[in-house]
């Protein structure tokens, strides 16, 4: 876990990646070893919400998915993990004279600052306006659809995705936490893969594996009030010298 901590602006640090299933398993194992039954119940991983049946029983538990982002947990559970991470980091000897004074979910503005990677007004973490690079390779994990599946709804006054006859669909699930290239702050998957919880609003930001390309912009928001297979998280940390 320590190796995943990445500083990107003076004052606080951010995890390089979304918290993985393996990270979260270590947390649950700690709660079991200390017999913290109430916290263990609050921190549980739910299994519903997946469209494909196998993921309900395998996504969190199977070793093949250990490096995939943990999903289907509540914001309260994410907060408990942040407490655990703070304790573990402060017990380690890898912070070189520093201690963690705060570990938590980011505020929306903090998350967006990290996602931009120092590029002002960038719609995506890589700084460009397109979802592919010059070689035609996709730069994030999202629902890839043809232009014919996006239409303007004049009654709602917004663009909508028409599922019928959907073409070029790719994302069926999250991908490993180190998939695709990081942004300029060395942060991975700030757009797509899984949308991420923030502290100050009941939404998840950045879009996820079921989002369209438009909905994995840095400032994209999706409702989040309980748990979802589309939503994960990454903590930020504030350090001070001992």
pLDDT value, residue 163: 57
Q: What mean pLDDT comes out for the span 196-214?
A: 95
Residue 119 has pLDDT above 80, yes or no: yes
pLDDT value, residue 66: 98
> What pTM was estimated for this model as a whole?
0.87
Cα 51 to Cα 218: distance, rounded to the nearest angstrom? 26
The token duo for 57 is: 């029983």
Each residue of 64-75: pLDDT tens digit? 999 999 999 999
Q: Which residues contact 22 (CB under 8 A, 6 or more apart)?
A: 66, 67
pLDDT value, residue 212: 87
Q: What mean pLDDT comes out for the span 79-96?
A: 92
pLDDT value, residue 168: 45
Percent over 90 (pLDDT), the chain: 71
Q: What mean pLDDT comes out for the span 177-202?
A: 97
Question: What does the chain look like in DSSP terms, one character per residue?
Answer: -GGGEEEEETTEEEESSPPBHHHHHHHHHHHHHTT-HHHHHHTPPP-TT-SSHHHHHHTTTSGGGTTSBP-S--HHHHHHHHHHHHHHHHHSS-SSSEEEEEEEPPPHHHHHHHHHTT-TT-SSTTSSS-SB-TTS-B-S------GGGEEEETTTTEEEE--TT--S---SS---TT-S---TTS---SSSSSEEE-SSSSEEES--TTS-GGGGSTT-EEE-SS--TTEE---EEEEEE-
pLDDT value, residue 221: 96
pLDDT value, residue 234: 98
Of the two residues 95 and 87, the one the predictor is more confident about is: 87
Sign of CA dihedral 235, 240, 241, 242: negative
Residue 94 has pLDDT above 70, yes or no: yes
Each residue of 32-76: pLDDT tens digit? 999 999 999 999 999 999 987 889 989 999 999 999 999 999 999
Identify the band that residue 147 occupies on the pLDDT scale cut at 50, 70 and 90.
very low
Q: What mean pLDDT comes out for the span 82-88?
A: 97
- 175 vs 93, 96, 150, CA distance in Å? 31, 33, 25
Residue 8 has pLDDT above 50, yes or no: no
pLDDT value, residue 36: 93
Give the total residue count for the chain: 242
pLDDT value, residue 61: 95
Q: What mean pLDDT comes out for the span 224-228?
A: 96
Of the two residues 169 and 162, the one the predictor is more confident about is: 162
Right CATH for 2-241 from 3.90.1580.10, 2.60.40.1120, 3.30.930.10, 3.40.50.300: 3.90.1580.10
Output the average pLDDT for the chain.
88
């Amino acid at each position: 876990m320590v190796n995943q901590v990445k500083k990107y602006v003076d004052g606080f640090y951010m995890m390089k990646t979304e918290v993985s299933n393996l990270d979260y398993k270590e947390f649950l194992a700690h709660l079991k070893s200390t017999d913290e039954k109430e916290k263990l119940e609050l921190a549980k991983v739910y299994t519903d919400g997946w469209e494909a049946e196998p993921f309900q029983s395998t996504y969190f538990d199977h070793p093949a998915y250990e490096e995939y982002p943990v999903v289907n947990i509540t914001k309260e559970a994410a907060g408990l993990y942040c407490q655990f991470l703070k304790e573990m980091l402060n017990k380690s000897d890898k912070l070189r004279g520093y201690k963690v004074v705060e570990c938590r979910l980011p505020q929306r503005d903090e998350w967006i600052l990290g996602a931009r990677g120092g590029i002002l007004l960038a719609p995506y973490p890589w700084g460009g306006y397109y979802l592919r690079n010059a070689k035609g390779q996709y730069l994030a994990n999202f629902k890839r659809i043809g232009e014919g599946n996006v239409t303007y709804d004049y009654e709602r006054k917004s663009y909508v995705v028409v599922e019928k006859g959907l073409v070029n669909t790719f994302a069926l699930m999250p991908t490993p936490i180190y998939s695709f290239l990081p942004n300029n702050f060395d942060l991975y998957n700030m757009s797509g893969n899984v949308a991420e919880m923030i502290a100050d609003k009941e939404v998840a930001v950045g879009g996820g594996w079921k989002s369209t390309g438009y909905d994995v912009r840095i400032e994209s928001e999706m409702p989040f009030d309980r748990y979802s297979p589309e939503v994960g998280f990454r903590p930020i940390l504030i350090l001070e010298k001992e």
